[in-house]
Structure 1
Amino acid sequence: MLRWLIAILFLANLIAFGLASGMFGPLPASGPREPYHLERQVHPEWLKTRPISEADAAEQPVIGGPDPTPAIAAAPLGR
């Protein structure tokens, strides 16, 4: 009984590997999902980027920096 279960699981793994590697052809979801998306844009040349101002940059988190110290007062508990 256990041998058949192992054989079925091994066969299922082989089939899953074949599907994932494209052995049976491309998957339907692997194609472009919106092939005409760029052609349907209205005035894409109007899109402009601008640098962040100093005020907006202060609100951005600093990644990789130290954690800010919390403003919590701590005191030992009395018994």
Structure 2
Amino acid sequence: MLRWPIVILILANVLAFVAVRGAFGPAPTASGREPNHLSRQVHPEWLTVRPVSAADAADQPIVGGPAPEAPISASALPQ
């Protein structure tokens, strides 16, 4: 009963493997189909790394720590 679905799955896996290996030609993403991406890339020599100051890191949550308190004031509701 399960013989044919197993055979179909094995054939589908073999077909997918052959397609990935390039038997039907190169994958569409293998070639430069969008050359405008190359012209818009960021130049790595322009990037600079700077340390985060204490003022900039104040609002960053600490991994494994408690969630920061929101600056919200609360009051009692009137009855």
Class of the TM-score when normalised by the shorter of the 2 chains: 0.3 to 0.5
Give the TM-score normalised by the residue count of structure 2. 0.46
- TM-score normalised by L of structure 1: 0.46
